[in-house]
Amino acid sequence: MTSRELIAQAVVAAPALTTVAVLVAPRRVLTPISLAGALLTGGLALVLMVLALHAPSARVVGDWLVVDAAGALLVGVIGIVGVASVLVSPAYLASARDSIFGERHREKLYYAALFAFWTILVGVPLAGNLGAAWLLVEATTAASALLVGFSGKPRALEAAWKYLILTSLGLGVALLGIVLLAAGVPGGGLGGALSWRALGTYETGASTALVAYLLLLAGLAAKIGWAPVHNWLPDAHSEAPPPVSALLSAALLPAVLLVAWRSEQALGPVVGVRTAEGVLIAFGLLSLAVAIPFLWRALPWKRLLAYSSLEHMGLIALGIGFATPLALAGTAVHIAAHAVAKALGFYAATPLLGHEPSAGENAVTGIGRSRPMLGLTMGLSLGALSGLPPSPLFVSEVLIVAGGFQAGRPWAAAATALLLALGFLGLAHALLETAAGEPRRRDGLAPGLRGVTALAGVSAVLLLALAAAGVWLPGTELVDALIEGAS
């Protein structure tokens, strides 16, 4: 067993053991245990990411475990966002007294559910076959639905049920596609037949494989949040605790998208590479187009971030659909930069809702004038997400659009550029209103602001580093490894 395999197993084991420790520990030590478990998990995730990205051609590809460049990048992203979510959770728990679990068990069960969700989530990019990946994605639904409805408020419970039902229905459709694929791959047993390497040997026929591929991607789209099956996303992101919203948007959505990416790479030779990529491009363009009208509306802060997730998951779909070196370099930068900016935006919701309770239902204005540091944090998040230079998301968007032209898809690339410009205008207007709009009357409280401001400083450094990485990345060995994939 290689060191990468050992570290990959440890990354999954660390949050799992922390879940058990939280459940049996006395209430007074819950926070220290959670912080220790989070730092251990995040540290292991970063080590695995650095090892894999330093030598991306030295992959581990088995029937049950895969450690490649794309998976390691997602593990690192999930690790970083998970650590930050645990760090800001005490401020959320101190400011939000409502819970479906009651006052006595509220903190213990919150951390247990959070670490259970994190355990399953970090395993998704490491799954070596489609069947295991599907089981893990389905398991994330059960764990995260409890967290979406954690407050126990009617709207939160409704959002949790909507999330649970719609994503489970989608994954049921994906399961039908998986069954068709398993029946057409010769030999190897269940694990071997559904491994990323074996899917390319599907022998029942291209038309049947295409049907299975469409069922699989349509089902996964419900979990990724691609239009037109994104209906759960705005409600779940709006009603979940802010640390959980960050994990949902910055970590869960791209992790499931990685499963779709690997499926496209594995089945492309069977259904036709151009056709397989075209399905992703169609989902991407539709998601961008559906998101734009909402980005132009005056929305509550968390709901605005949710529709921004729809836009960005659509853009990532376009990047992997274009599948050229420029597009994949942009995709890698976009996944990491989106995670940093989006997580910061959700973390800012805790002090925002304390400072202005009506922000849960109304668009915010003038935060930069009433609470300058909070306004700066929200502005950093929104400016980065809009693609305002020198945001790394601007660099990644340029790379993805250029990659579309490089792939010989000028109409799709031009449509992407137009939709991104429209999305920028909507988010830029929201940025101006947040920073310099007319302030409303507020109570002056902003719980957790100091911690979120510190995270904003770290995020600014990371975003600048990612912008530099976006300029350097094209033409490197890492991009070649992304093109090769896990198959």
* Contact by Cβ (8 Å): 220, 174: yes
Alpha helices in 348-409 (DSSP H): 349-355, 367-370, 372-386, 392-406
Per-residue pLDDT of 88-124, as tens digits, reads 999 999 887 777 877 778 899 999 999 999 999 999 9
Q: Which helix (H) or strand (E) holds 67?
A: strand 66-67
Q: Which helix (H) or strand (E) holds 460?
A: helix 449-472
Which tokens go with 156? 């939160």
Which tokens go with 475? 């033409």
Collapsing DSSP states into helix, strand and coil, what is residue 187?
coil
CA–CA distances in Å: residue 192 to residues 56, 80, 130, 170, 199: 24, 32, 10, 24, 9
d(CA 431, CA 434): 5
pTM of the model: 0.96
Phi-psi region of 55 (alpha: psi -120 to 50; beta: other; left: phi over 0): beta
Per-residue pLDDT of 180-199, as tens digits, reads 998 888 865 556 678 898 88
Per-residue pLDDT of 114-170, as tens digits, reads 999 999 999 999 999 999 999 999 999 988 999 999 988 899 999 999 999 999 999
Give bridge partners of residue 61 from the DSSP assignment.
Answer: 66
What proportion of the chain, given as a percentage, has pLDDT over 90?
A: 75
* Contact by Cβ (8 Å): 73, 49: yes
Which tokens go with 188? 């190897």
Per-residue pLDDT of 264-301, as tens digits, reads 999 999 999 999 999 999 999 999 999 999 999 999 99
Query: 């101190």: which residue's tokens?
Result: 94
Which tokens go with 308? 């921004």
Alpha helices in 185-300 (DSSP H): 189-193, 206-224, 232-239, 242-247, 253-271, 273-295
